[in-house]
Structure 1
């Protein structure tokens, strides 16, 4: 599986870019899965539902299955968070895995950047960032080339990513 990430600070447009990229790339006939990192605890089911009650009762894993989808929830219960490589190994094979977040992981990435958010660029100090997708004109001050793409030009960003991963 080929892997490419979308990273950036909060409110940089990462999730919107991910959504557009998945739509664009799958429309080209390429299979895509995604991994999203959350920096906080989150719930994927609702209190009172059977799966929630199973987890709350102490189940390590809860597998929920229907004709439409399956969901596997695992409770870490104090164990360390799995690293990205371990999570990727759990996925079924696809052509491309797009990863949102995981700023410090070494996989190649595009940085989403919105000027209004007021955050500094990550790219100048991170060679794993291969391009910046920005809503403004800017230059990336670093020795290695780092193209700047229009944050709203999803086909161009998809073209860049697919070239980078050889698809």
Structure 2
């Protein structure tokens, strides 16, 4: 029997300083890509300590007791609490099958990236020194020739991502009068 291996989805970082509009852009971009029938995963990186697991909850108590990691699942989703995965690519492998992974932050990770620059918020353009930046969402002209988009142009940015990564939605089939994406084997 032949083993089918899943190809890793492309990962694109969205980078810029805090308050520049990365999450706002991602919200619109994810909605646009989903509207086109694509499945998008999100990775979020923070350099700040964050109490992901609340003190006194079962998972936190059991981790303090010596568990290396803990995961919890319920009707609305799941969460994993443990040591860092080892970077964006390692964390992306934990996601269900997706067509594209958008990673907010991850500025030290060697990933292709979209820069979000806003006058008065961003101290300087990242793309001036970071050649991994392949597009800029900006309200000012970038310092080198790159595709540049306004903050509200999620459709244009989605077009660029779909072309760059050859993204197409999964074939849909009719099920009980409605269109449904085929289930993926994994």
TM-score range relative to shorter protein:
0.7 to 0.9
Q: Please name the residue that 2:65 is paired with.
A: 57
Displacement of 1:107 in angstroms is: 2.0
TM-score (norm 2): 0.77
TM-score by length of 1: 0.85
Q: Which residue of 2 aligns with 1:30?
A: 38
Structure 1 residue 68 displacement after superposition: 2.5
Long gaps (5+) in structure 1 = none
Q: How many residues align?
A: 159
Q: Which runs of 5+ in 2 are unaligned?
A: 1-8, 168-186
Map of 2:128 onto structure 1: 124
Which of the residues 141, 144, 149 maps onto 2:143?
A: 141
| Inter-partner Cα distance in structure 1 for 2:119 and 2:44 | 23
1:29 shift after superposition: 0.9
The CA distance in 2 between the partners of 1:51 and 1:113, in whole Å, is: 39
> What is the distance in 2 between the residues matched to 1:154 and 1:161?
10
Q: What RMSD in Å do the two structures reach over aligned CA positions?
A: 1.8
Structure richer in helix, relative to its length: 1
Larger mean Cα displacement after TM superposition, 81-90 or 156-165 = 81-90
For 2:63 and 2:38, locate their aligned partners in 1 and report how far apart those are by CA, in whole Å: 35
Residue 90 of structure 1 is matched in structure 2 by 94
